């Protein structure tokens, strides 16, 4: 029987509830939850039937029945929890963005590279939607020819709810740029295999106060954002993020090349090549709205929920593939190759650098270069793979020496 690793959740907000529900639906046992207050932690634990709850970070991280730490809640704590979790041997599944500063993101990356056997995954679900996977294949095969322009827009309702929380504060990671801009920056890098080198952006807070909040509460997070990205080979992207719709959610992404274009509307993929008179439907997503979608669609768009579900299924496959019928199989081992499509902490560093550059551009009212990772350093997964191979070699060597040891042979006799 396959045993999946146990999950501990850091956070009690609505996003933490979504993550708990989806991990449970995938068959992972959720054994512990951390909350800022004992009341919140106990309430969520009782509601979702979780045996252990605490307000102390170390108690959750050191819990024997926690193998994967899922980090939700407020972004200013992501880096601290992720680095600590990796340092004591726990796999990490983190919400985005990767910390509030590039320093935070680099600390997370260093910890992930130092412990290569552990999964370190960021919650960027668009990478696991079939429309985006198919679009990446078509781009690679030359469907659009040389890429020229990328255009993206998101139109949705306000991210600010009735209660004042971190989403109201830009310095705490709230706003359209951090919440949805992170996903768009990441998916553009994923689709094009390019990283932005220069940005220009504008952030606006049109709604600074709300009638259902106390007068002394002021909203500082952006509810509208527009930015441009420059990539190598003269490729440019234009992104608009708007949270002023009364209801609904619409995301459109267009990739235009010299031979044609691809357009992804929510989860559906369309395309047209030069010489063709009609736009063809290349992929139409069909997923059933179950109880989970009905419960959480007001909090997170359905396409992001579906992508997150697929991402968690990918994590599940990574652990299942390392187990067999033998009793000695360790449920904590994962096949990193099966989850290599997921956004890792190196991707998070780039996204964080672009976000910081956009904010800086808004302040300076000018184009700003994106701080790049050291070009001389190998890619994250290459480092991970080489370190894993070295660890496996050293493990086999130590086992061979142990077998040849006279002391060991004497004991065996």
DSSP result, 260-306:
EEEEEETTEEEEEETT-SS-EEEE-------HHHHHHTTTS-HHHHH
User: Is residue 171 domain-resident?
Assistant: yes
Please say if the pLDDT value at position 401 is more than 50.
no
Please say if the pLDDT value at position 32 is more than 90.
yes
What's the CATH code of the domain at 222?
3.30.360.10
**pLDDT score, position 260:** 97
Least-confidence region, from 11-20, 222-231, 375-384 = 375-384
104 in the same domain as 166: no
258 in the same domain as 308: no
User: Is residue 80 domain-resident?
Assistant: yes
Percent of the chain whose pLDDT exceeds 70: 86
333 in the same domain as 197: no
User: Is residue 388 domain-resident?
Assistant: no
**pLDDT score, position 296:** 76
Question: What does the alpha-carbon distance between residue 261 and residue 147 come to, in Å, rounded to a whole number?
Answer: 9
Residues 83-103: what's their mean pLDDT?
A: 95
Distance (Å) of CA 304 to CA 127, 129, 145, 193, 355: 10, 9, 29, 22, 20
68 in the same domain as 148: no
Confidence label for 324 from pLDDT (cuts 50, 70 and 90): low
User: Is residue 321 domain-resident?
Assistant: yes
User: Is residue 386 domain-resident?
Assistant: no
272 in the same domain as 145: yes
131 in the same domain as 117: no
**pLDDT score, position 227:** 98
Q: What is the mean pLDDT of the chain?
A: 88
42 in the same domain as 62: yes
133 in the same domain as 97: no
Digit-coded pLDDT (tens) for 163-197: 888 899 999 999 999 999 999 999 999 999 999 99
Last residue of a domain, one of 286, 310, 335: 286
| This prediction's pTM | 0.89
**pLDDT score, position 410:** 39
Are residues 85 and 112 in contact, defined by beta-carbon separation less than 8 angstroms?
no
Residues 277-282: what's their mean pLDDT?
A: 95
Note down the domain range covering 111.
7-122+301-344
**Region of 89 on the Ramachandran plot (φ > 0 left; ψ -120 to 50 alpha; else beta):** left
Residues 46-61: what's their mean pLDDT?
A: 96
Digit-coded pLDDT (tens) for 111-124: 999 999 999 999 99
Please say if the pLDDT value at position 234 is more than 80.
yes
**pLDDT score, position 396:** 45
Are residues 342 and 122 in contact, defined by beta-carbon separation less than 8 angstroms?
yes
Least-confidence region, from 34-43, 145-154, 221-230, 397-406 = 397-406
240 in the same domain as 139: yes
Please say if the pLDDT value at position 3 is more than 90.
no
200 in the same domain as 259: yes
**pLDDT score, position 331:** 77
**pLDDT score, position 408:** 39
Beta bridge partners, 201, equal 227
User: Is residue 356 domain-resident?
Assistant: no
Sign of the torsion formed by the C-alpha atoms of 101, 129, 199 and 155: negative
Are residues 220 and 397 in contact, defined by beta-carbon separation less than 8 angstroms?
no
Give the count of domains, the chain: 2
279 in the same domain as 132: yes
Last residue of a domain, one of 254, 286, 318: 286
**pLDDT score, position 388:** 52
Residues 130-135: what's their mean pLDDT?
A: 97
Least-confidence region, from 247-256, 296-305, 323-332, 346-355 = 323-332
**pLDDT score, position 58:** 95
User: Is residue 359 domain-resident?
Assistant: no
User: Is residue 139 domain-resident?
Assistant: yes
244 in the same domain as 317: no
């Amino acid at each position: 029987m396959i045993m999946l690793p146990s999950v501990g959740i850091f956070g009690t907000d609505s996003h933490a509830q979504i993550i708990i529900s989806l991990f449970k639906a995938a068959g992972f046992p959720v054994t512990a939850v951390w909350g800022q207050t004992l009341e919140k932690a106990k309430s969520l634990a009782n509601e979702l039937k979780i045996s252990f709850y605490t307000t102390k970070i170390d108690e959750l991280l050191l819990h024997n029945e926690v193998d994967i730490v899922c980090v939700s809640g407020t972004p200013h704590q992501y880096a601290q929890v992720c680095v600590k979790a990796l340092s004591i041997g726990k796999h990490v599944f983190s919400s985005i963005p990767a910390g509030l500063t590039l320093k935070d993101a680099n600390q997370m990356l260093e910890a992930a590279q130092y412990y290569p056997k552990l999964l370190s995954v960021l919650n960027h679900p668009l990478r696991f939607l079939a429309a985006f996977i198919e679009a990446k294949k078509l781009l690679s095969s030359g469907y659009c020819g040389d890429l020229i322009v990328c255009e993206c827009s998101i139109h949705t309702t306000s991210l600010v709810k009735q209660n004042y929380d971190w989403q109201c504060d830009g310095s705490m990671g709230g706003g359209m740029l951090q919440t949805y801009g992170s996903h768009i920056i990441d998916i553009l890098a994923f689709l094009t295999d390019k990283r932005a080198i220069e940005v220009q952006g504008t952030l606006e807070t049109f709604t600074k106060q709300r009638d259902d909040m106390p007068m002394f509460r002021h909203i500082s997070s952006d509810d509208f954002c527009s930015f441009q990205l420059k990539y190598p080979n003269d490729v440019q992207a234009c992104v608009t993020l708007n949270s002023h719709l009364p209801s609904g959610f619409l995301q459109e992404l267009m990739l235009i090349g010299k031979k044609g274009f691809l357009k992804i509307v929510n989860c559906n993929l369309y395309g047209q090549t030069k010489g063709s008179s009609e736009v063809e439907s290349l992929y139409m997503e069909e997923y059933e709205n179950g109880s989970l979608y009905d419960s959480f669609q007001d909090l997170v768009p359905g396409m992001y929920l579906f992508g997150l579900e697929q991402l968690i299924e990918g994590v599940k496959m990574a652990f299942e593939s390392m187990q067999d019928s033998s009793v000695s199989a360790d449920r904590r081992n994962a096949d990193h190759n099966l989850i290599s499509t997921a956004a890792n902490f190196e991707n998070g560093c780039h996204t964080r650098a672009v976000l910081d550059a956009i904010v800086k551009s808004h302040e300076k009212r000018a184009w700003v270069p994106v701080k790049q990772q050291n070009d001389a350093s190998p890619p994250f997964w290459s480092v991970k793979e080489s370190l894993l191979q070295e660890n496996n070699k050293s493990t086999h060597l130590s086992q061979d020496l142990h077998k040849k040891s006279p002391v060991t042979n004497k004991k065996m006799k």
